[in-house]
Structure 1
Amino acid sequence: MGVSETRLGARVELDGLCKYYGDFVAADAVSLDIQAGEFMTFLGPSGSGKSTTLMMIAGFTIPSAGDVRLDGSSIISQPVHTRNVGMVFQNYALFPHLSVERNVAFPLEMRKVPRNEIAERVKRALELVRLDGFAERRPKQLSGGQQQRVALARAMVFEPPVLLLDEPLGALDAKLREEMKFELKQLHHKVGATILFVTHDQEEALTLSDRIAVFNGGRLAQVGSPDALYNAPENRFVADFIGETNLLEGKVDAVRDGSCRVTIEGVGAMTGNLRDGFEKPTNTATYTLRLENVLLENEADGADNVFDGTIEEFLFVGNARKYLIRLSPNLTITARVSTQRQSNGLNPGTNIRVGWNTADMLLVDAK
């Protein structure tokens, strides 16, 4: 998603942020430079440090070390209410006894904004999230998606340059999540704020973000565009966590002319390319192979690496079929084939040819 041309957001710099709980390291020297107006997602499994980092930016968690700067000025010693950042929590944190209007007005009232200005700004915020006409309702009278939009309006009403969203779609059902993805993208274009978005859902991260920071064990595993993370993961963890993939680890037979020949026991030999920035493998090499790059039957015949396999199971997923294919007693891989490429499904127990090209094998670990 492109950054809003208005660029109303602030630059956010994280400089060596750390958080320790006794011997447990929740965040370990996290450093990031987030540009004004950027949509940056913190992605990772539970306990990876993404929410801890967001809470340190917001001021709810005190860092053990490091600094947070907005437009070059440190905010690390400022209390939450003076940091000028908007916050949306997963459970929305709406006041159940207040109307929608009063919920949205709350941050303006805390900032002593004149009453007539509050009314106008609340009206604009509710129009922005398409909730004009709902001002007098209580949160319990709203759907989950509407409550989420109230929380967004409250976070935006005082026009902060930075919005922090902590898994805001997590409580919504699948259909509402899809709708809210579009709404978040549209809101980002309209308001131009810098958005820091926390999720463990890789699809949310890939569809919404300008860049993604992948967390693992309290550290940054990789930072880059959705395309770079999906197509050029820098390590095994990112390859496995972003999207669906097959990880192929084999014993190195030969390395020459920019390629590596490996053998997987029970399967056979295959060839993958070497990669800049990685040590030349001498013992083992691990490659990532995306599901859509696995070729079956006639399509496999002209591939660089071809093997015999057996269909163990398949899933129909609407516009594609996913096949679990056994290549050896110790190795299964998954293929995803669009229904346009394959009109008839393959049944479990079917013996087939399986293949893929050298260019589609990406080195992610070398030893």
Structure 2
Amino acid sequence: MRGTKLLLGSLFVWFGLVWCVSRMPVGELFTTTWCTYCDDAAYYIDENFPPIEPVSIIVRYEVDEEAPFDDYDATGMNDRVSTYFSGSYGVPNMHIDGTDYGSGPYSTWISTLESRAGTSAPLDISFSDLTEDSVEITLTLEDPAYAGTHQLNVMIIEDSIYYSAPNGQTLFNQIFRSTITNSPYGDNVSLSTVKSPVVRKYALDLHPDWDVNNCFVVAFVQNTSTNEMLQGNRTPLLRPNYMFSVAPKFQTVSSIAEDTTANMNSTITNRGVNDDTYDVYADLLLPGGWTANTYAGGSSFSTFTTLSIVADGSDVISATINSNGISGSGTVRFRISSPNIPDRVDTVEFVLNAGA
């Protein structure tokens, strides 16, 4: 992996005598591979989180010992459990910026992350240097009311892990892999002076089981007395000039009614350093008499279009499928590629079952 330097800007807003930065909220989901509701929660997040992923964070802790996800840093995972729970607790459970949002509704999790994103935060976190061996993080206090000693947590999470779980879940995203702070319980940092940067540098100890193309470094600072989250940030572990992701890649709508209309969408995210323009093809695999409309970036197209997305930006592809009173099963298939990434084509399928 080539050494890469990242300088992430922040949005500054004047509030009285205090400069405040734009918040990136942190959702921490505690879940298991045997819980049926956990599969439902994961599916909901996979479908609804991508549009707000550029401005918010989710970390998923698969806490059951039978699954393979705690093999790398069980101590770090258990520390996050003990931060919020003592004794038994239910799953799935979501905490957002340190506040318990329980087992749902799942829509509240997403709407809370969305509403908190971009609000003012008392702390700026930036990844001032990222190489194949280490990450350097700069913390800058913006609000003197939050001066004090807080806990810095830095961890690696991974997307697109395929595993056949007992609850039926097969795709795992935002999975906690390992804490990389000096202590598995996070490191205490003293933030005493406004506009005085505090820098921490950590080695990246990567396991060969992890796909670095799907890994991210997540950092957040928390008040250990109140559990209030001051700020969070995330960056791809590997950031080439051109890179993108698409999620979700498969959706199905089933209805007992023969006359059914379904709307489905997926988000393309530009994870590369450079702006890019993507080729988007749409294939309609529909029964006779069915109709479908396809869109990219909100604009209708029939067979082919291009979609330009700035670095760190995202946009949506979508389809509306209408069975027109005819029972059967139909698919709209999108094929997405970048002329700057040879031999890679991502496929998205939207399936409607009408009269099922």
Query: As a proportion of its length, which structure holds more helix?
Result: 1
Give the alignment's TM-score, normalised by structure 2.
0.25
